[in-house]
């Protein structure tokens, strides 16, 4: 009887410790995602301002791309601690940010003011990129 109680206690403790570990991993992953997303938003804001003021943007485009990659790396571990829904949302976030960054990249290399601008073509390409991460 005492051995069974001890085995149940050990199993319960192991379950509790695993749940604690999962929560800790989730907090770490979610914190990493929030930081990376914030850095991307800041970089996009700087790029947006530079585009509006018609300042050079090459360095800012590179910074945005670097921040987008950091966000992709931060989102990667969501599949490990779960739940699956979080991984689905993370994948959708990456798809949306990739499309958004692609739109800014396209805007950064648009023709000069005296040349024709094909915003519809940019919108179509961005819409196509958004579909890349949606589940089938």
* Beta-carbon count within 10 A of 51 CB: 16
Place of tokens 């989730």: 26
> pTM score, two decimals?
0.64
Give the domain range for residue 25: 2-133
So what's the pLDDT on residue 39?
94
pLDDT digits (tens, 9 = 90+) for 45-103: 998 888 888 888 889 888 988 998 898 888 887 776 667 887 788 888 888 888 877 77
* 3-class secondary-structure state, position 91: helix
User: Is the separation of the CB atoms in 97 and 75 below 8 Å?
Assistant: no
Give the number of domains in the chain: 1
Q: Please determine, for residue 131, whether its predicted confidence score (pLDDT) is greater than 70.
A: no
Q: What is the DSSP letter of 111?
A: P
So what's the pLDDT on residue 117?
47
Radius of gyration of the chain (CA): 22
Give me the chain's average pLDDT, please. Answer: 79
Percent with pLDDT over 70 in the chain: 76
User: Is the separation of the CB atoms in 16 and 72 below 8 Å?
Assistant: no
């Amino acid at each position: 009887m005492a051995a069974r109680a001890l085995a149940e206690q050990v199993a319960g403790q192991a379950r509790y410790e695993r749940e604690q570990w999962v929560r800790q991993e989730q907090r770490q992953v979610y914190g990493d995602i929030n930081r990376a997303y914030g850095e991307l938003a800041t970089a996009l804001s700087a790029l947006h301002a530079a585009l509006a003021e018609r300042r050079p943007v090459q360095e800012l485009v590179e910074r945005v791309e670097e921040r987008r990659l950091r966000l992709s790396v931060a989102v990667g571990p969501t599949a490990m601690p779960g739940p699956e829904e979080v991984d689905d949302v993370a994948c959708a976030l990456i798809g949306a940010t990739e499309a958004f960054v692609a739109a800014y990249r396209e805007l950064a290399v648009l023709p000069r003011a005296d040349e024709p601008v094909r915003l519809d073509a940019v919108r179509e390409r961005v819409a196509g990129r958004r579909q890349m991460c949606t589940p089938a």
